[in-house]
Amino acid sequence: MVVDQLSRSPEKDVALDRLFQALADATRRDIVARVTAGEYSVSGLAALYTMSFAAVQKHVAVLERASLVTKEKRGREQIVRGNHDGLQKARHLLDHFEMIWRQRASRIADILAEDDERDLP
Amino acid sequence: MTVVSVNKDVAALSFTIVAEFDADVKRVWRIWEDPRQLERWWGPPTWPATFETHEFSAGGKAAYYMTGPDGTKARGWWKFTIINAPDHLEFDDGFADEHGEPVDELGITHAIVKLEPVGDRTRMTLTSSFESEEQMQKMADMGMEDGMREAIEQIDAVLAEPANA
């Protein structure tokens, strides 16, 4: 599902809740980092952690519902990949913060520059 | 260049900005320490911040609001967790309702600020860690709204100029 980034809607709130819950777990963040870099099978992921295959499968399902990863059947394997559209939303927000802080830094520089002027004889 | 680098970690919901200023560490510390100076840069010009409380010591609280062009007030609170003058402070940053009471469900951002001398300049490194994407969205709405609107208005103004001007 594509969620409109500019308007608030019940669909968007649900999507945000899912994204929040999905990223609130260290294992799931690790899975996202790995499958964003390259595809993994669910069993390949399960081999990386001390938890059961079923537990890893559950984590993948949570990430899939949050649109952070996609899952696709290939023969007997389930292949997990990063969903770049889902990650794009979080990245978009961090871009906003970059803009906020660039503006703040420039205002700080202005304040400090005024000092220099005042200190001149 | 004021801003040296920006690092955005999507999976960890954290943001780091490194900026350098033409002033010594003690001077840059004052832009955090003095609420009247803090007010001059925390909010954008069209959404200025007013700090009603600013207890600049570990365990101290700050309360502020930002006033929008239509008079709308957006309130926030800080709790200073570390104040090591003149080069290290940390604080929790959250939302407040119209009575200044914290709105817990929107989550808390933790900010770490470090200052260090680089020649006769000062490097400031700020890291913000968010609890959730929803909270990041709210913080972005609160800090940005106007910055974005201004930028868009500027673009509109340029586009509205006659092409042969």
To test the contact with chain B by mutation, choose from A104, A107, A114, A116 the residue with the greatest count of B C-beta atoms within 10 A, namely A104
Helix (H, G, I), strand (E, B) or coil at A89: helix
pLDDT beyond 80 at B57: yes
Beta bridge partners of B95: B76
Tell whether A34 is covered by a domain. yes
For residues B5-28, average pLDDT? 87
For residues B64-85, average pLDDT? 91
Q: Please give the domain boundaries of chain B with CATH numbers for all domains.
A: 3-160 (3.30.530.20)
Which H helix or E strand runs over A12? helix A10-23
- More confident: A63 or B58: B58
The CA distance from B58 to the nearest CA of chain A, in Å, is 23
| Partner-chain contact B15 A113, CB within 8 Å | no
The whole-number pLDDT of residue A86 equals: 61
Tell whether A30 is covered by a domain. yes
- pTM confidence score: 0.63
The count of structural domains within chain A is 1
Under 8 Å between Cβ of A39 and A77 = no
- Name the band, by pLDDT with cuts 50, 70 and 90, for residue B163: very low
Tell whether A83 is covered by a domain. yes
The CATH number given to whatever domain includes residue A56 is 1.10.10.10
Tell whether A2 is covered by a domain. no
Closest CB from B8, B21, B135 relative to A98: B8
- More confident: A27 or A21: A27
| Partner-chain contact B140 A97, CB within 8 Å | yes
* DSSP-derived secondary structure letter, B60: -
pLDDT beyond 80 at A92: no
Nearest CA to A6 out of A74, A93, A85 is that of: A93
Tell whether A52 is covered by a domain. yes
Domain that holds residue A60: 10-119
* DSSP-derived secondary structure letter, B104: G
Name the residue of chain A whose CA is nearest to B15's CA: A94
Tell whether A51 is covered by a domain. yes
pLDDT beyond 90 at B152: no
The whole-number pLDDT of residue B150 equals: 44
pLDDT beyond 50 at A85: yes
Contact of A103 with chain B, judged by CB distance below 8 Å, is answered with yes
Tell whether A1 is covered by a domain. no
A26-63: pLDDT as tens digits: 788 888 878 877 889 999 999 999 999 999 999 999 88
pLDDT beyond 80 at A8: no
| ipTM of the complex as predicted | 0.78
Closest CB from A95, A96, A111 relative to B41: A111
Look at chain A and count its residues.
121
Look at chain B and count its residues.
165
Tell whether A66 is covered by a domain. yes
For residues B16-35, average pLDDT? 92
Q: Which amino acid is at A117?
A: E
